[in-house]
Structure 1
Amino acid sequence: MSDLSLAQDHAFQLARTLMVPVTLFKSGDQYGALPSDELDANDDLEPIHEFDPHERGPAH
C-alpha cells in the first residue's frame, strides 16, 4: 500500500468518525489530513482531496 493510499484511507475514516469534511493534503514529501475548517489559506499545503462524510458514493 502506498503512502498516498494509506493517507486516503485514514482521511476517509477520520471524516466518517468526526462526521465533518476532512482535507487530505501534501506538505513536502508527507501526506496529512485535517478537518477542512482547520485549514488556513496561508498554510503551505497542497490540497489533494476533500472527503465529505455526508456525500454518498465510493470512498476512492
Structure 2
Amino acid sequence: ETSIGEWNDGRNLEKRLMEDMREVALGTVNNWSKGVIVWNLMLDTDKGPNREGGCQTCYGAVDISR
C-alpha cells in the first residue's frame, strides 16, 4: 500500500510516484513478485472510501466529486 497525504509531502504526486516505482514496483518485481497494487488512486472529496483504522488523511491522485 502506498499513499500521499497530509503526513508525507502533501500532494507531491510526482515525487511519491517516482519513489514508489523504484521501491515498490521494481523492488518487488526484482524479488520475484508478479504484481504490485497501489491503493488510493481515486478518492472522493472526503478522502474516502476508507475503512475504520485506515488512513483518514490520505489523498488520491484523482479526486472524485459525488
Bin the TM-score by the shorter chain. Answer: 0.3 to 0.5
TM-score, with length taken from structure 2: 0.31
Larger C-alpha radius of gyration, 1 or 2?
A: 2
Quick check: which one's strand share is greater?
A: 1
TM-score, with length taken from structure 1: 0.33
Quick check: which one's helix share is greater?
A: 1
